[in-house]
Amino acid sequence: MLKVNKHVTRVVAGAVSAGVLMPSCIPAGNYDDLLYIQDQQKRDLGQLAIPMQINLNSSQAAYIGFIQKLSEDIIKYPVIAKQFYNNPKSFMERYGYKGDINMDDDLLKLIIALGDDDINRAVKLGDAGLFIDLCSEKGLLNNRTELYASLRNQFDKQLSDLGLDLPPAEELQAGVALVLIITVLVVVAIVFTVTATETSMNVSGDGEQYAKNNMKQYITENNPVLYMWFMKQKGNDSFLLVDEYTERQVDGLILEIKGRNPKYFEKNSEMDFRNMLKLNAIMTK
Amino acid sequence: MENNITISPTTISFITTNKCSAACKNCCYGCSPQKKDRLSLGEMKDYIDQALDVYSTIKLLVLTGGECFTLGKDLNSIIKYGGERGLKVRVVTNAYWATTFEKAYSRLKGLVEVGLSELNISTGDDHQEWVPYDNIVCAIMSSLEQNIATAVNVETNSISEFNSKKLKEDYRLSEYFEKYKDKLIIIENVWMPFKVSTNNKLKDSLSNNTKEIPTCLKNRCVNLFSTITINPFNKMIACCGLTAEYTSYLNLGNAKKYSIKQLYEHQFDDFMKIWLYTEGPKKILDFIHEKSNTEYFDTSNWHLCQICAEIFQKEQNIEILQKYSSEIFTNVMLKYTLIRES
């Protein structure tokens, strides 16, 4: 059973990616100190692994400029986004560039969203909930069954100890978006792992913005369509999506637990559980 | 190459010296008391000036090491200079100087007076072989009492003995946790072993490890393109991960020979870095396996930087990427230019 430590406000675990906040990390093997020193003395200008020129001959030097302009227009004008995803090849040809763009699924979904009138309206209204609903309804959120399965397997024991025998993806209750419970699943497992070994920690305060940035990074990486919100909503309002998303993840998981294990919240406080998840979800990356 | 695809940095960070009061066995920079390489005060000031002249987006100066407190009065001077140039200033330290509360308070007071905004303290199993735990407590208390934002970064992995529990339960700190909620953050950060013996122990433990967050949740490398990082040899490096120090592709060049702007923007001529930033090393490693018809291996417990190092360590990987990158070039560039706006 999960015992929420009341003195613990948040738990941060694992690979928190924080750039210069924590510069002391990360080797992959066993390096020779001498090589390090030698390399310091060798190069005045860094070596390029894949020089841009490999992909751009001189006549295509303007190509990067074109892509950049295209991005700006796609973000700014939904009609351009629409034209582009409807037929990228002919769109490119109009600008004198031949060849196919092999857009991957994530990119395609993002551009579709940028060209969608309803989704654009939700963004304009600043309605993060409607934005998520529409992305979901239109099939633009990633239903990452592989990720869910991997996490479910990885944290199987912890979840089972919690009484949270989450079902295989295909058996999830209708209406519970898989994408919305993945993060929380990780949080539950990590929190449990951490509390089980009593390594909880108190985290507070100044890290709020940092935490929200982490969550922003997490949700956009796993659902690049959500970048759209941040492209168009600048400033603090952009984090409404983070709040809304977190809230929904927690609701989604609690709903699932109630469906699978109705007695769980007879023994455990739903409010404590909810608060713990919310506090930790935004901190976990 | 003339383009406008750069992302302006928000931070300038100096690995001020590789001299350290400690010689942690798994230190990624191999720092120790015997090392003497360092940036001079003049060099650091010059780099700040150059960077701010070009990038008004820079708001934070980070001073790390080695141990930046070994710079003595130069530490005060560079903090003062950063503050005068309108930057918030963070120092990263092992707190060796915080032997008593009084000494810690006094040392920090001098820094706060000249403009210190944030104290980052590194601790954990390796650090504590050199710096007593009580120093960490004294540093936290003296920093908070001067209302300085304080972060404690606990080096950790699945075989670590020290963790944040001790801090949380320390009766000397309980009042501070309550009173300075808005100023204190404690983070358990992955600390990968650098030495063979520790590495083997960790590898054994990883098979049963469930605490680390799976790699599948770690995609893009956002350490790139956010910070101008200069090491004690006046070399600019592309990120703060250890990979950068041992991979020539992540060494951006000599700041004594080229301007900060030239070095920083040169990295945007490297499609590899844009690809890492946009899609992350895992996808790139998968791409290599696909194109080379080699067997995929399990990286689910690997840190992002380990995967990055795995790519860069083998020259044939780079050759494969060079050969086939045109297939995904437009897709990656378009994605990059779009998410850059988010």
pLDDT in tens, A141-169: 876 666 667 667 766 766 676 666 667 76
Chain A residue nearest residue B37, CA to CA: A37
Distances (CA, A) of B95 to A106, B80, B196: 45, 20, 27
| Tokens linked to B233 | 């040899």
pLDDT of residue A277: 67
Cβ of residue A153 closer than 8 Å to a chain B Cβ: no
Phi, psi of B14 (to 5 degrees): -110, 120
pLDDT of residue B338: 92
pLDDT of A228 > 50? The answer is: yes
Q: DSSP letters of A166-201?
A: PPPGGGSPTT--HHHHHHHHHHHHHHHHHHHTT---
Q: Do B322 and A54 touch (CB under 8 A)?
A: yes
Chain B residue nearest residue A16, CA to CA: B189
Least confident of A199-213, B78-92, B117-131: A199-213
Q: Do A27 and B192 touch (CB under 8 A)?
A: yes
Least confident of A167-176, B64-73, B240-249: A167-176
Which of the four pLDDT bands, split at 50, 70 and 90, describes residue A199? very low
Chain B residue nearest residue A216, CA to CA: B342
In DSSP terms, which residues pair with B149 in a beta bridge?
A: B118
| Tokens linked to B9 | 């940095």
How many residue contacts between A and B have a Cβ separation below 8 Å? 342
pLDDT of residue A197: 31
Please name the amino acid found at residue B320: I
Cβ of residue A103 closer than 8 Å to a chain B Cβ: yes
The ipTM assigned to this model is 0.85
pLDDT of residue A201: 29
**Start-to-end Cα distance in chain B:** 24
What part of B 209-248 touches A (C-beta under 8 Å)? Answer: 210-214, 216-220, 222-223, 226-227, 229, 231, 233, 235-236, 238-243, 245-246, 248
| Tokens linked to A48 | 């390029």
- Residue A145 near residue A153 (C-beta atoms within 8 A): no
Q: How far is the C-alpha of B186 from the C-alpha of A21, rounded, in Å?
A: 11
In DSSP terms, which residues pair with A273 in a beta bridge?
A: none
Q: How far is the C-alpha of B44 from the C-alpha of B33, rounded, in Å?
A: 21
Largest CA-CA distance found in chain B, in angstroms, rounded = 62
> pTM of the entire structure?
0.81
Q: Do B211 and A194 touch (CB under 8 A)?
A: yes
Chain A residue nearest residue B262, CA to CA: A45
Helical pair B73-84 and B101-114, crossing angle rounded to 10 deg: 40
